[in-house]
Chains A and B, each alone.
Chain A
């Protein structure tokens, strides 16, 4: 099946999300769709998937024009959209999820469970997946859930599958499993649109690439002809730095010191962050670094061991106390942990300082506005007015607002957990600059990241964790991706 999109436009109010975009996909190929947040990738794919209508332009399948009034219709035409947030019901079994909404019936009208089991099993076997159809979905790891989604698309006889950042929450072995699956589907003549921010994955799995920028298709071609940095340049429209940024400003003054911390998810962890230092923490999924810092921040589980802040024992009861003592914590998963969706940017950016700028419980609104305006300038947050709802901002700007709320509290210790998650390449560099600037001001920074590149570029040194324990330390010459990978996978130095 061949897909052609021609001159597609779409605007949301005054915002031209797509300005005459051409896109094509043939059966049996994997095309990477790239672009920064807000470039129009999702809009383009939502039009293809029938989620939103287009303003003008054509969508042709095998030369015939089509138009989908809803996802139901695009699925019937063989186009399956696998969203980033998986749409599986955790409390149902694999086979129930595979047939959800299309359950076969027996003659008496009951659900035909034997048929669901056998057809589901046949489908998974055909895809070369060793997975029990009777398993509960809740117990599956993230890659198998992704595979169940793919299988569900295949059950609906999809010949085009759109995958929106399928690897964003997967570990390396899990990514391999999904990639193997994608290659197998390609072999069967299925066309796949692969949306991703991870350029090195694109280089490995995709045949072709198409890059959107500001609603226009700015580049396309064969992946084999370009390098990852070419793709990055297409996305942001200029050269992207890849140089090391760390500044080695470690002062002799220790700010946050931990001794032999053991708790749920981590054990026997000791470290020491000095003023002006950026200490990295990395590892694979389940390495315990987030749990460790949540506990130190007073928002996680209990632990044994001691933490010292400026040399004094520190064990906050609750995040409120930690914040009062000059700790700041930028959590991972912005949507779940970072933003308050019913509030505007101004309030999201100042909630931390309310206790400080209130008199008799009343928020000093002028100071609130001044402080936020200062952060908007310093962090170069792009918004029309401070009372814009937080959810109307792009991912990078949302992240900057979440950062702003902590920076306005003038923290001494800044804990950053995946600070550039879901942030496009341009905003990523800006966030790095902000982090480096804070280190220059003497803030002690713990940078938690799953991206080895990020750790290597920004941190002065890094602790690599494996199954809750520190597997080793990397600094200077040992700050190399392979060395970090070996530690993170438990392979030793």
Chain B
């Protein structure tokens, strides 16, 4: 059967990523076991497990979409986790219903406060991303260094100003993530899917999406073809900033609070891992939005599998490392064959 699949879809660059995910899902299904009284119970257990996986990884999945564009353009963004914390803190401070709530003190409450909070959060994400973009384009800093700097700045400033301040997130705001559709908690998954669809279309059909590839593939040729390379780079970082902000809003509405020291930390590496496992080239020019969705799922399913198998938590990161290295080795072999 694998032979048939390979003949059918072997030409697609996502074949091995999809195949890897398929194998993972089978293993995970086996690990879930069959010790259930009825098939119906087994199915509902399997289905709930899946909803859990998707819901828990929607935040990373959303950031990874933005990261895909950054990496295709030949860059990297280490600051997404800190952007998430900074935006999350600001949104919470805005919508806080406690005595220090910013919008409350301005007399704005209810839906209009939430809309302002969300819009301000997304704008702040875009602004932080644009700042990175300016450092990379105008300042000519390598993206690794520029975002290493903004990563430190964002988190430290957030921690300083949020000391001893625990905003109260109003209950209705939590509905953003926990509104039930058909009795199921699926809002985060829907946001993720919607973002993935939008990014896919941008990447395939718009001039901007194709310019990102051109810039990552041969920046000089792109510039000499009239592509506004600086603008493309600024937009790519602004976009990943917006995605980090969206992820922040999602997290605030899911949990209703945020640990400023730890929230979002490691998100940058998780997002980069998902992008890499999805087949996007670290050196830019070649990448797939769908691959990133698959990559996010591979890592997520593997985590779940390890959990089901009872592998101790400290060891799980090691498997993540193995997956990333293995995926790149596989892609290298395919590229040369």
Contact = CB atoms under 8 A, between A and B. Distances in A.
Interface in B169-218: 205-208, 210-211, 213-214, 216-218
Interface residues of B, number: 23
Contacts of A365: 205
Interface residues of A, number: 29
B218 A352 contact: no
A320 B229 CA distance: 9
A16 to B, nearest CB: 22
Given A323-B226, A351-B227, A339 B210 contact: no
A338 interface: yes
Contact of A351 (B222, B228, B286): B222
A337 B220 contact: yes
Contacts of A358: 206-207
B205 A320 contact: no
A374 interface: no
B221 to A, nearest CB: 5
Contact of B224 (A299, A342, A355, A361): A299
B336 interface: no
A319 B225 CA distance: 7
A320 B206 contact: no
B223 A299 contact: yes
Interface string A289-322: 0000000010100000000000000000011101
Contact of B221 (A297, A338, A354, A355): A338
B220 A361 contact: no
B222 to A, nearest CB: 7
Given A342-B286, A347-B210, A351-B214, A336 B227 contact: no
Contacts of B224: 297, 299, 319, 329, 331, 337-338
A336 B224 CA distance: 11
B208 A319 contact: no
A340 interface: yes
Interface in B56-71: none
Contacts of A340: 213-214, 217-218, 221-222, 225, 285
A341 interface: yes
Interface string A344-369: 00010001101100100111010000
Given A340-B217, A341-B285, A343-B213, A361 B227 contact: no
Contacts of B226: 319-320, 322-324, 351-352, 355
Contacts of B214: 340, 343, 347, 351
A190 B218 CA distance: 40
A339 B221 contact: yes
A483 to B, nearest CB: 32
Interface in A8-29: none
A152 interface: no
Nearest to A324: B226
Contacts of B223: 299, 319
A442 to B, nearest CB: 22
A402 B228 CA distance: 18
A405 interface: yes
A365 B206 CA distance: 10
Interface of B: 205-208, 210-211, 213-214, 216-218, 220-228, 230, 285-286
19 contacts: A319-B223, A319-B224, A319-B225, A320-B226, A320-B227, A320-B228, A322-B226, A323-B225, A324-B226, A337-B224, A339-B218, A340-B225, A341-B217, A342-B218, A352-B225, A352-B226, A358-B207, A362-B207, A363-B206
